Structure 1
Amino acid sequence: MSPGRRNHAGAAVVAVLALMLALVGCTGRAGGDAATVRIGVGGQPLLAYLPATLADRLGYYKDEGLDVRLEDLQAGSKALQALQGGSVDVVSGYYDHTIQMQAKGRELTSFVNMLRYPSVVLAVSPKASRPINSIADLQGAKVGVTAPGSSTDFFLKYLLVRSGLKADAASVAGIGGGSTAVAAMENGQVDAAVMVDPSFSLLTKRAGADKVRILSDTRNAEGVRDGFGVTTYPASVLYSSKKWLKDNEGTTRKLAKAMTRTLRWIEQHSVEEIADRMPEQYANGDRQVYVDAIAHAKSAYNPDGRVHEDGANEVLTVLSQFQPDVAEAKIELSKTYTNDYLP
């Protein structure tokens, strides 16, 4: 080959390599793994999803070489829709959606379990339109949930069925999980609501604890035993599609490592230290209420990130009681969660 041709061939190789590097930089992929990850959160200020934000605030995603983009989608059902539509890669949502979607023929898999108790509270509004002293009294009542089809909605339907009512015995209203939920309860827009902290703690502070009747509280082990008969019930998790996990095994392991580091950090630090790391606006102007809410939630965070089989089975049992498609489907629980990516 002549010198001119060799120079031309060398220049072509350099150009091809430059193009490949540029493409890797634009797509954020190298060896099939995404360096940029979009995580849809089912209500970022809610304590159920605190670890997703805290991992970012502690710098643990960056430690793993990941560029994580957290997107607050305000409800678990909306985060699920975003995953299905391709606008996020991973969801910080509740585990029960992985079972629900398998019944519809779509495989989603949880790979880190952040919350081992549901940590939701069914409470009566201080301005309810009528006396409500038990779950049975919710017949015909208007009950708030974060959004229809969300895990708070599932929880309400389970409690209604367990109390001998039909799953649709109460009318459901989507009230969000933050300040809108507090306002809906304060103003009597709903008779009761399934709430998540810090919103529930803020409501009790503003209305008075003696004015807010609790019908079910799953923020601790005792409440989970009373409600479900088990000691662990996988709640908020990180989940994604089977395809995304397969295409991004390295990234998934890095996310799992960052999250388990965060869960251990929560276990080893005080509620005040945890509050200090979180965005100030999440306290809704009342830091002490926020600190107290974290204190209620702290034992629910799952330090090892694992889903346990008995807990997964209980979630399936619960969903089967009010979702005919789940009850009739042959659910393979082993496909709805995995502990294989955990460090």
Structure 2
Amino acid sequence: MAHHLVRRPLRRAVAAAACLATLAAASGCSSAGGGDAVRIGVGGQPLLVYLPTTLAQQLGYYKKEGVQVRLADLQGGSKALQAMQGGSVDVVSGYYDHTIQMQAKHKDVVSFVNMLRYPSLVLAVSPKASKKIDSVDDLKGAKVGVTAPGSSTDFFLKKLLADHGMKADAASVQGIGGDSTAVAAMEQGRVDAAVMLDPAVSQLQKRAGAKRVKILTDTRTERGVKEDFGVSTYPAAVLYSDRDWLEDHPDQARKLAKAIVRALKYIDTHSAKEIAAKMPRKYAGDDPAVYEKAIAQAKDAYAKDGLIRPDGAAAVHKVLSAFTPEIAKADVDLKKTYTNEYLK
């Protein structure tokens, strides 16, 4: 297949140009010749759902496995996916949702290590909401914040709206980022509600007062996942790349997966205080105690072995199909959306 053979060097040329243009400041991209560094775009690096990606770097696990990594904070899963498609990153630390979304568009994007077994998404109401919001039904016509339109926070909002008999555009979606920008948007009432992630949720509750931040739905626990998704495990944050890259770089993919599993084991066997101490100080904001508490609450949500299981993948597909017609209509082969091969 000649077009397939031509595409890879072309992708590398595009990748080098895009890297220099868009990520030089953010991640210190590798040279135009490609280098040995794997560029990982993170869909919001301070967010606890992506903590294993950064923790593996902080603990030196990538280097110990023999792979050089450069992380780029892209502040939203959809932006990270776009960066991979444009060639400015090789791998994405994002949500598994996007591999199914891409498969429905006949593009082979493959998850190869799972970091999170609960999505850890929280739908919260702003203490300065412009209207009374007591349930998801009240979101009709409201301004609702997500990390970025097209991200998994946006998917989750649309799922909740569909569950309550509303159209996907019943609420006005606003991109507010995932960390301090999300906290500020909620504090100032620029949005009426938001789909948030920790540590932002915990920081908002501390700053505004826990009683003033109404939580409508919470998937940080197994109970919440069962209530919202009907399953006990739901693959969320993963590392994914396109099939071409994985086939061209099997050793690097294997080393990345192994480093992430080592980070997951560290999380499982160390205290929140010890984990927080290893992370960049800026992620804790101005309240390290809140950051540490958020990690303690999140510990159970992290995957143990990095595997994605068929029932979890099927649950994600079922949820996405409920509010995304193109996914519902597409003949999605879930076996093409993930692999556990690099965990062996």
With the length of structure 2 as denominator, give the TM-score of the two structures: 0.90
The separation in 2 between residues aligned to 1:340 and 1:231, in whole angstroms, is 23
The separation in 2 between residues aligned to 1:291 and 1:163, in whole angstroms, is 35
- CA deviations 1:141-183 (Å, max 9, x no partner) are 1100000000000000000100111111101000000111000
Asked if 1:245 corresponds to 2:246, the answer is yes
Alignment of 1:136-155 (within 5 A): 136-155=137-156
Asked if 1:222 corresponds to 2:218, the answer is no
- CA deviations 1:320-342 (Å, max 9, x no partner) are 01111100000000000011110
Deviation for aligned residue 1:64:
1.3
Paired AA for residue 165 in structure 1? M
Asked if 1:55 corresponds to 2:56, the answer is yes
Change (3 A) 1:156 1:36: same
Per the alignment, residue 168 of structure 2 pairs with 167
Per the alignment, residue 190 of structure 1 pairs with 191
The separation in 2 between residues aligned to 1:155 and 1:161, in whole angstroms, is 10
Asked if 1:202 corresponds to 2:203, the answer is yes
Asked if 1:232 corresponds to 2:233, the answer is yes
Per the alignment, residue 19 of structure 2 pairs with none
- CA deviations 1:227-286 (Å, max 9, x no partner) are 011000000000000000001111111111111011011100000000000000000110
The separation in 1 between residues aligned to 2:294 and 2:317, in whole angstroms, is 29
- CA deviations 1:54-109 (Å, max 9, x no partner) are 00000000001111000000100000000000000000000000000111111100
Structure 1 segments, 4+ long, off by >4 Å, are 25-29
Q: Secondary structure at the match of 2:317?
A: helix
Deviation for aligned residue 1:36:
1.4
Deviation for aligned residue 1:27:
4.5
Paired AA for residue 43 in structure 2? G
The separation in 2 between residues aligned to 1:308 and 1:229, in whole angstroms, is 15
The separation in 2 between residues aligned to 1:230 and 1:297, in whole angstroms, is 18
Per the alignment, residue 312 of structure 1 pairs with 313
Paired AA for residue 97 in structure 2? D
- The number of aligned residues is 314
Paired AA for residue 341 in structure 1? Y
The separation in 1 between residues aligned to 2:218 and 2:280, in whole angstroms, is 26
With the length of structure 1 as denominator, give the TM-score of the two structures: 0.90
Deviation for aligned residue 1:26:
8.3
Per the alignment, residue 7 of structure 2 pairs with none
Question: Between Structure 1 and Structure 2, whose CA radius of gyration is higher?
Answer: 1
Q: Secondary structure at the match of 1:341?
A: helix
Q: Secondary structure at the match of 1:117?
A: coil
Which consecutive residues of structure 1, in runs of 5 or more, have no partner in the other structure? 1-24, 30-34
Per the alignment, residue 45 of structure 2 pairs with 44
Q: Secondary structure at the match of 2:204?
A: helix
Paired AA for residue 198 in structure 2? D
Q: Secondary structure at the match of 1:185?
A: helix
The separation in 1 between residues aligned to 2:252 and 2:283, in whole angstroms, is 28
The separation in 1 between residues aligned to 2:187 and 2:34, in whole angstroms, is 46
CA RMSD of aligned residues (A): 1.1
